[in-house]
Copies of this chain bind each other. A is one copy, B any other.
Amino acid sequence: MILARVIGTVVATRKDDRLNGSKLQIVQPVSLGDMSPDGKPLVAIDAVGAGEGEIVMICAGSSARQTSRTKDTPCDAVIMAIIDSLDVGGRQVYSKSQAR
C-alpha cells in the first residue's frame, strides 16, 4: 500500500451505477519520510470518511474492492485507513496530532 494526502474531490454525474454514493477523492502520494509529494495524484474511492489534508493509506488493484464500500464496484484505488503516526528507524516521522 502507499500513503497519500487527500487534496481534492471529483464530481461526476454520469457514471457507472455501482459508483452511486461513493465519494471520489483526489489523493497525492507522499514520501514515507518527510511526507512531501512524491508521484502523480490519482482518484480513490473513500471507504473511511477521510478529510482534505489527512494522510491516508491507499490500496490498489483488485484488493481495492475488498472494503464493504467498494465490493463489486469498478474501483482500482481505495482509501482504507487514516494514518495516525509513522515510525521509520525508531524515529517518529509523522504524527497526525502534530501535523499542521
Residue positions of A touching B, CB distance < 8 A: 1-3, 7-19, 24, 26, 31-33, 38-44, 47-49, 52, 57, 59-68, 70, 72-78, 80-90, 93
Is the CB–CB distance between A61 and B62 below 8 Å?
yes
Instruction: State the oligomeric state as a number of copies.
Output: 5
Which residue from B41, B80, B86 sits with its C-beta under 8 Å from A74? B80
Which residue from B65, B68, B80, B87 sits with its C-beta under 8 Å from A66? B65
* Secondary structure class of chain A's binding surface, majority of residues: mixed
Is the CB–CB distance between B48 and A80 below 8 Å?
no
Interface centre among A10, A74, A93, by most chain B C-beta atoms within 10 angstroms, is A74
Is the CB–CB distance between A18 and B67 below 8 Å?
yes
Q: A19 vs B17: C-alpha distance in the bound complex, in angstroms?
A: 21
